[in-house]
Amino acid sequence: MTTRSKPRPETATGELPAQRAIDDPVVAQPDVPVVVAPGDAASRSVAASAGLLGTRILRQYSLVFLLVASFVLYSTWNKTSSVFLTGDSLRVMVAGQAVIGVLTLGILVTMVAGNFDLSVGNIAGLSQIMTATLYAKHGWGMWAGIVAGIAIGGFVGGINGLLVTILRVDPFIITLGTASAILGFIDWYTKDQSIVTGIPAGITHFGRNNFFGVPDIVWVLAIVAVVIYYLLEHTPYGRNLHAIGSNRAAARLVGIRVERSIAMAFVINGIFAGIAGVLMLARAGAGNPQIPPTLALTALAGAFLGAASFKVGRLNVPGTIVALLFLAVNITGLQYAGVANWINEMFTGLSLIFAIALAAVLSKERSVKKTRKSA
């Protein structure tokens, strides 16, 4: 140990008060513990915590407030109030959200583990058109077709998963690739022909019927939400996905099978995309080779927006549901108000930007996580 000469003109007991007043420009406060009046610290702490609690609640439930506010707005605004708050309109609104809802909940599974799947929309489109073809051209039974449609989704998801984990390429790029390959395949396979005949009546009925006043396909959405919630928050597998998303190296070192879990997540994601595809077919009653190009982005927007509420900064199912309803209410409301159809994509796009900006702000508050994640 080296000792250093200490030329400080002081003793261990400190300086004289008078001296301190000269050399200490802040105050002539003694260099000893500050005695605080009893209750002072406590009251300050309570006040501060009340403020903090307030902002936390505001943040956790901001989207819920916005949802309620938009709902009230369209229910009272004279341009929309006559049509908005009717059972039929609400049914149409929620049913219109079922397909995208199932896609969004499915994509959560991959996103929680820190991955993206930009091909979900096209996977859904593929299983929709393939199921229609199996019915119309090959005479498959209703249930066999449904199972096949879902299995096709799982299969393509599996390909995504294998590519991502074996090639170790950014899932963003891989799934962008598969998305485009699927489009090409659909084009070639269908020769761009819609399939309008030969769809079983059972399945088209299912797309239109209500059960206890709620559209059948919305029941499907509800069941999917429960399943995903259970999977992500109440199974070891879901918890492992969260761990992988948080810190992949650490997840590996606590014995989580990282590659296998991620590949599995893509399969599950694909299966739910397959379900969404079958729902698409049920709603439209026909197989359509034109896949809406914005499905995957809308799903991403919903998931990101959902991460801004309830468990702030964490992708979660309740938040996602609120986000989906928020998008549905506003898009429907604006359409009733007479705004043209383009508002649909416009609003979704803006929400996506808003959601990602919000996610960026939130993650800055937890900057440690982000800088480490890329390690």
Partner 1 sequence: MPTVMAGPRTALAMRGLSKTYAGHLALDSLFLRIRAGEIHALLGGNGSGKSTTIKILAGVVTADPGGELVVGEGEPVGLHDWTPAKAQAAGLRFVHQQPAVFPELSIAENLALGAEFPRGLGGRVDWRALNARTAELLERYEIHASPKTPLAALRAADRCRVAIVRALQDRDDADSGVLILDEPTAALPAAEVEHLLEALRGYAAAGQTILYVSHRLDEVLSVADRVTVLRDGRKVDTVEAEGLTEADLIEMIVGRPLDRVFPAAPLDSTDDAALTIRGLRGGPLRGVDLTLRKGEVLGIAGLLGSGRSELLRMLFGAYPVEGGSVTLDGAEYAPGSPQAAMKAGVAYVPEDRQAEALLSGESIRHNLTAGQESSYFRKFLYRHRLERNDAQRSIGDFLIRVVSDTNPVETLSGGNQQKVVMARWLRRRPKVLLLDEPTQGVDVGARAEIYQLIRRATEQGTSVILVVSEPEELAHASDRVAVLRGGRITTVVERPIDAHKLTELMNIPQVAVGEGSS
Nearest-CA neighbor of 240 among 224, 225, 262?
A: 262
- The secondary structure of residue 235, as a DSSP letter, is S
Identify whether the C-beta of residue 271 lies closer than 8 Å to the C-beta of residue 154: yes
Query: Which residue is it, tokens 């996103």?
Result: 111
- If the CB atoms of residues 30 and 293 are measured against partner 1, the closer one turns out to be 30
**Cα of 120 vs its chain's centroid, Å:** 13
Does position 340 bind partner 1 by CB under 8 A?
A: no
250 is an interface residue for partner 1 by CB under 8 A? yes
Q: Which is nearer to partner 1, 218 or 307 (CB)?
A: 307
- Write down the least CB distance from residue 48 to partner 1, Å: 4
Interaction of residue 364 with partner 1, rule CB under 8 A: no
Map residues 299-318 to x or -, x wherever contact with partner 1 holds by CB under 8 A.
--------------xx----
Number of Cβ atoms within 10 Å of the Cβ of 279: 28
Closer by beta carbon to partner 1, 145 or else 319: 319
- For residue 287, what are the β-bridge partners? 195
| Sole binder of partner 1 in the list 17, 34, 88, 184 (CB under 8 A) | 34
58: contact with partner 1 by CB under 8 A:
no
Binder of partner 1 out of 78, 197, 341, 374 (CB under 8 A): 374
Question: How many CA atoms lie less than 13 Å away from 230 in the CB half-sphere?
Answer: 6
Contact assessment for residue 130 and residue 144, using Cβ atoms and an 8 Å cutoff: no
The vertex-366 CA angle with 362 and 371, nearest 5°, equals 115
Contact residue for partner 1 among 137, 138, 168, 372 (CB under 8 A): 372
Q: What pairs with residue 210 in β-bridges?
A: 215
Give residues in contact with partner 1 (CB under 8 A). Answer: 1-4, 6, 8-12, 14-15, 19-20, 22-27, 29, 31-34, 36, 41, 44-46, 48-49, 52-53, 56, 233-236, 239-240, 242-243, 245-247, 249-257, 313-314, 366-369, 371-372, 374-375
